[in-house]
Structure 1
Amino acid sequence: MSLPGFIDTYKTLIATPSISSTDTSWDQSNQDVINNLATWFESLGFKVAVTEVPDVPGKYNLVATLGQGEGGLLLAGHTDTVPYDEGQWSKDPFKLTEEGNKLYGLGSIDMKGFFAFILEALKQMDISKLDKPLRILATADEETTMAGARDIAARQSIKPEYAVIGEPTGLVPVFMHKGHMSEGIRITGRSGHSSDPKNGLNAIEIMHKVLAELLKVQQIFKDKYNSPHFEVPAPTLNFGHIHGGDSPNRICGCCELHIDMRPIPGVSTDELFITLKTALAEIDKAYPGAIDIFHLHEPIPAYECCATSELVKVAEALSGHQAEAVNYCTEAPFIQQLGCDTIVMGPGHIAQAHQPDEYLDLSFVTPTTELLKNLIQRFCNSAQAN
């Protein structure tokens, strides 16, 4: 079959919903996106393997391979998107709209559109001359649990030497980012009539004590840890959601807080979680059985690639940008578990991600396509190596 053109490929990807969400009313399968990618890469001569992600029905990963053996280059991206704010989009999120030198659509930069760039680069190359393996990885559920990337890391079925994840970095190489932890703290008290406080145990009052201790933990993070590579140099602790009680004339029987913590490289997720539990130990002792601390999802560790890696240096030279660290997180720590040097670099800007009217500026089309062609030549063609 003949491959669709760049814009038509983009249109198909955007028109195929693949939202992942912890809210089941939003959550969707990514199978149709994977099937389209499988067809397109097979038409270019890639061997395609599609696997269902364990314990996540309807969610699939794809690995497309050109060549044999280990080493070479992996180009990676996720096939899911976040939900969208229907009332805030001025355009149909599932219809690619070209306007004002921009391509609008859900997933245009975060990040289904990256696969259209890969296909466009491959169409412009003589891939028969590549003598090292080129692999394309398309994962599921990056926006929630990262289950797809975790499964790829666990399988260890591919062994690239280098990997590039095409998240929207403005084509600036990213060699380091923070991790991500979402934790829940639930206080279970004892409800009762508000006219007599001694007949109950007010969960909101206990949560007030918890919040006071967590504010101290924020300061501990600032005092104990520091990485000058980041704009925000210390791990952060954010109060994101709290809910408790149901009526002003009832003693609150349950209160729940959700927090976000972001470890820096060199600081494990376990270390931050232990710091959290230690800070609340005295309250736990004072109110036995009242405090439950739990993961809202499995923690995502921080990631770092050696700044002097050949991949980093080549990416800096090709992009014209010095590699940098960012505060958000990606699938990089899991891809890196395959044993490959890994960077994050792709078209679009993170400021447009997760926003109404998400868009790709068309000024990225030529430089991104050329960048991918050069990376593929550099790491999949022995004649191009130093």
Structure 2
Amino acid sequence: MPLNLEDLWKAVDPERLRRLLVEMVDIYSPSGKEEDIQLFLEEQLHGAGFAVRRQEVEEERYNLVVPLGWREPRLYLVGHVDTIAAWDLEDYGARDAQGLIHGLGSADMKGGCAAMVETFLALATALPPEQRPPVGLLLVVGEEENGDGSATFLESTRPPWVVIGEPTGLNPCFAHYGYLEAGFVTSGRRTHSSLPELGHNAVESMLRVLLHLGRDPLFERSSSEIAYSIRELTSSRAGFVVPDRCEAWIDLHLPPTGDPAEVEAAIRARAETAERLIPDLDLELQFNFAARGYDLGTNNPLARTLAALYPELGLKGGTDAFRSHSDGNLFFEAGVKPLILGPGALEVAHTPDEHTPFAEVLAAAKIYAALCMQADSL
């Protein structure tokens, strides 16, 4: 007799999920140092009877790959276990207060990872092996840096679909922004700071370049679809001198239909006009990373499942485009269809007040379970 969703959801254990999330947040796991949390999760999954495979990314860094049943997965639940570095190493751990789980990575994306692990525990509890859907769990490293964990997975495996638990407030995202990273370097002439007229100040040149770039209609925040943010601004630190070098890095998040190559060309063209306006400008440009966005639309089995499911869970329907960068871009470029959907809010990720509502984490586990049950139709 087929299992209905209500019976499956009864196997989702809220207290087990809460404990798991708090313990995960308490484990410091910045990009490049993920082994402690992978060892913890491996132990949890092994203890529940799963066959867990380590997929080496580099020495002492590996993904965890967990099939649910005996069939080749057609859907993977994908979560990254790494976080950004802590703001304060004395204060990065979990705090459970008034329905919110606070702490580094609670939203981005240990909340999603915990919900996915709980989904697998519930599926294994509720379903005998012969009834388990063809799904897998993939816990990757390195998303906050260069996505090397997902890139390694994609070298050997390309399922039809993945669900990535980035923080979307449980809003399904079948579309995804693209991304372009732009680097600027201005060079000047160093002299004693009491004699600035004898030097050339690279910081002043950089500020003028950035102001000139920001006046381009392409980056006008009130009208442009491009999210443009100056991420870093640094100069030579010799002390009491006119700086002879300044470096800036800019993040550009492009709408799903945007072309990173076109934006790069526009930036280069704008920079050429700056050379005519800024005396003695010595400017170098770097574009080290770019990823195209995508829009999968909503004419697919997962979108239809969610449209029917959300009213049952008391959740608002509708879809959105994921505005940040994620491993979803890598999966799409490899021919895999990614759905971005997870608990927590993007606006608190990477901030000292990072948190996620536990109710969303619990709902995410139920949503993931329902999506897993559709894997045969993908």
With normalisation by structure 1, the TM-score equals 0.79
Which residue of 2 is the match for residue 333 of structure 1? 329
Contact in 2 for aligned 1:162/1:311 (Cα 8 Å): no
2:319 aligned with 1:323: yes
Which position in structure 2 is the counterpart of 1:77?
A: 79
Q: Which amino acid aligns with 1:126?
A: L
Determine whether 1:98 maps to 2:102. Answer: no
Q: Which moved more, 1:168-177 or 1:337-346?
A: 337-346
The aligned residue for residue 283 of structure 2 is: 291
Distance 1:317 1:299, change over 3 A: same
Q: Which residue of 2 aligns with 1:180?
A: 179
Find out whether 1:350 has 2:350 as its counterpart: no
Q: CA RMSD in A?
A: 3.4
SS of residue matched to 1:256: strand
1:261 Cα offset (Å) = 1.3
Give the Cα–Cα distance (whole angstroms) in 2 for the partners of residues 197 and 358 of structure 1: 43
- Report the equivalent of 2:372: 376
The answer to whether the Cα contact below 8 Å between 1:176 and 1:324 also exists between their aligned partners in 2 is yes
Query: Is the 1:75–1:163 contact (alpha carbons within 8 Å) kept by the matching residues of 2?
Result: yes
Alpha-carbon shift at residue 370 of structure 1 (Å)? 2.0
CA distance in 2, matches of 1:237, 1:366: 34
Structure 2 distance, partners of 1:197, 1:113, is 52
SS class of match (1:265): coil
What is the one-letter code of the residue matched to 1:148?
G
User: In the alignment, is the contact (CA less than 8 A) between 1:49 and 1:62 conserved in 2?
Assistant: yes
Q: Which residue of 2 aligns with 1:59?
A: 61
Give the whole-Å Cα distance in 2 for the aligned partners of 1:78 and 1:318.
25
Q: Deviations over 1:216-268 (max 9, x none)?
A: 43x13569xxxxxxx97611333343344668974431222222211222323
State the identity %: 25
Gaps of 5+ in 1: 21-27, 224-230
3-state SS in 2 of match to 1:257 = strand
Is this contact kept in 1: 2:80–2:113, CA < 8 A? Answer: no
Aligned to 1:119: 117
Pair 1:127–1:168, CA change in 2 (3 A): farther
Give aligned pairs, total: 356
- Please state whether the residue corresponding to 2:200 is helix, strand or coil: coil
Query: Which of 18, 31, 35 is matched with 1:7 structurally?
Result: 18
1:128 aligns with: 129
1:3-58 Cα distance to aligned partner (Å, 9 max, x none): 993333223312221023xxxxxxx510121222223334445443323325xx54
Matched letter for residue 316 of structure 1: A
Code of the aligned partner of 2:36: D
Provide Cα deviations, 1:56-112, integer angstroms capped at 9, x if missing partner: x5432222123355552110111012233339x9xx532x43322333332223212
Q: Which amino acid aligns with 1:269?
A: P
For 2:350, what is the secondary structure of its paired residue? coil
- Asked if structure 1 preserves the Cα contact closer than 8 Å seen for 2:175 and 2:322, the reply is yes
Q: Measure, in 1, the Cα distance between the counterparts of 2:208 and 2:359.
A: 52
Does structure 1 residue 274 correspond to structure 2 residue 278?
A: no
Normalized against structure 2, the TM-score is what?
0.80
